[in-house]
Amino acid sequence: MTETAPRPTLEAVAERAGVSRATVSRVVNGSHGVREALAERVRRAVEELGYVPNQAARSLVTRRHRAVAVVAAEPETRVFADPYFAQQLRGISKELTAHDNQLVLLLTEGREDHARVGRYLAGGHVDGALVFSLHLDDPLPGLVRSAGVPTVFGGRPDWDDGRGGVVYVDSDNRGGARSAVHHLAGLGRTRIAHITGPLDQTSAADRLAGFRDVRAGADPGLIAQGDFTPGGGERAMRELLDRCPGLDAVFAANDLTAAGALRVLRERGRRVPQDVAVVGFDDMLPVAEQTDPPLTTVRQDIEGMGRLMARLLLRGLDGTAADDDTETPSATAPGVVLPTTLVHRATA
């Protein structure tokens, strides 16, 4: 653990370049109206001294931090159960980095942490927040609101279906579900079952809604609750098979669930896809490609969601972000819903 040497200041650079601090500041911040000759001298001095701006001093006057908080409830969401959150993080990180912003990670473990996060956000330490709020009664959204920090949500917050000006990014869960079920129906399957996710999460609720869109009058016995885990998928599949031995297709709310269902199907002697066709959701590669047989599933662009969240936030912060990108949605849209695509493998 080496001791960190005193860094050169603007002052030092100015002296070395034989100009004023203001001029150095202008050059460093890329503002125009500095004669090229001078600018060059300054740049050289910066280089020679290894000058790096002191962000604390800068923040003190600009009130900008070039930092964004990412808030996620760790135990409640499936944050670490599958690579879902990790991929979003990756997208977020890329986008923030591209615009020279830092990522401050705030993980909450329970109620006690909420106060801390609220205080931090309200403390004006970051310019904005990216919040993952997937549960019905999540206190986080309210907290963030009252903290008065510009925020973009990951996943449709259930408490705001279009009224408020809540900005969020989500996958087209409902449309994706529809396409999955349509595909199954197109295969000639008539007894299509659905294993849901935990229905207090909007993504799970939306996928169920999509299923119902296509199978309006479906036998309720063909719907079983899962929880986005393989174990939940197994339980639900057994239940389904007991209730409706004649089912010929299953739409699972996510890939992990489908993996569990597949195991039970094999255990019960059903051939996939001949006897029972299966479609998942997510297209988590490590899961979907490793199932036996490989899983047909609905792909969502998870990393893209993360990138978009960051982009939207940055854009709200100032006119700085990614105007070059065609994906940028209309400025008035409260929520942005990314399309999904069906990936054909072997289970349906």
81's contact among a second copy, DNA, none, with CB below 5 to 8 A by partner kind, is a second copy
Whether residue 293 is preceded by a cis peptide bond, meaning omega within 30 degrees of 0, is: yes
Which residue stretch of 16-24, 78-86, 237-245, 321-329 sits at the interface with a second copy (rule: CB under 8 A)? 78-86
Indicate whether 90 belongs to the interface with a second copy (CB under 8 A): yes
Q: How far is the CB of 83 from a second copy (least distance, A)?
A: 5
Restricted to residues 144-163, the positions that interact with a second copy (CB under 8 A) are: 145, 148-151
Binding residue count for DNA, defined by CB under 7 A: 28
**In the numeric block, which tokens belong to residue 164?**
């408020």
Indicate whether 43 belongs to the interface with DNA (CB under 7 A): no
CB of 317 within 8 A of CB of 127? yes
Distance of alpha carbon 160 from alpha carbon 171, whole angstroms: 16
Restricted to residues 220-279, the positions that interact with DNA (CB under 7 A) are: none
Q: Out of 85, 132, 153, 211, point to the residue binding a second copy (CB under 8 A).
A: 85
Distance of alpha carbon 242 from alpha carbon 181, whole angstroms: 22
Indicate whether 313 belongs to the interface with DNA (CB under 7 A): no
Distance of alpha carbon 234 from alpha carbon 265, whole angstroms: 9
Indicate whether 100 belongs to the interface with DNA (CB under 7 A): no
3-state secondary structure of 194: strand
By rule CB under 7 A, what string of x and - marks binding of each residue 53-72 to DNA? xx--xx-xxx----------
**In the numeric block, which tokens belong to residue 5?**
């040497």
Helix H segments across the chain? 10-17, 21-28, 36-49, 55-62, 84-98, 111-122, 140-147, 173-186, 202-214, 230-243, 255-267, 285-288, 302-317
In angstroms, what CA-CA distances link 29 with 10, 46, 104?
12, 12, 23
Indicate whether 49 belongs to the interface with DNA (CB under 7 A): no
- Indicate the residue among 96 and 223 with the shorter CB distance to a second copy: 96
Indicate whether 104 belongs to the interface with a second copy (CB under 8 A): yes
CB of 68 within 8 A of CB of 102? yes
Indicate whether 167 belongs to the interface with a second copy (CB under 8 A): yes
Q: Out of 8, 49, 83, 343, point to the residue binding a second copy (CB under 8 A).
A: 83
Q: How far is the CB of 54 from DNA (least distance, A)?
A: 3
Distance of alpha carbon 129 from alpha carbon 105, whole angstroms: 10
- Contacts with a second copy by CB under 8 A lie at 1-5, 7, 50, 52-57, 59-60, 65, 67, 70, 74, 79-83, 85-87, 89-90, 93-94, 97, 102-107, 109, 113, 116, 119-120, 122-125, 128, 145, 148-151, 165, 167, 230, 263, 286, 290, 292, 316
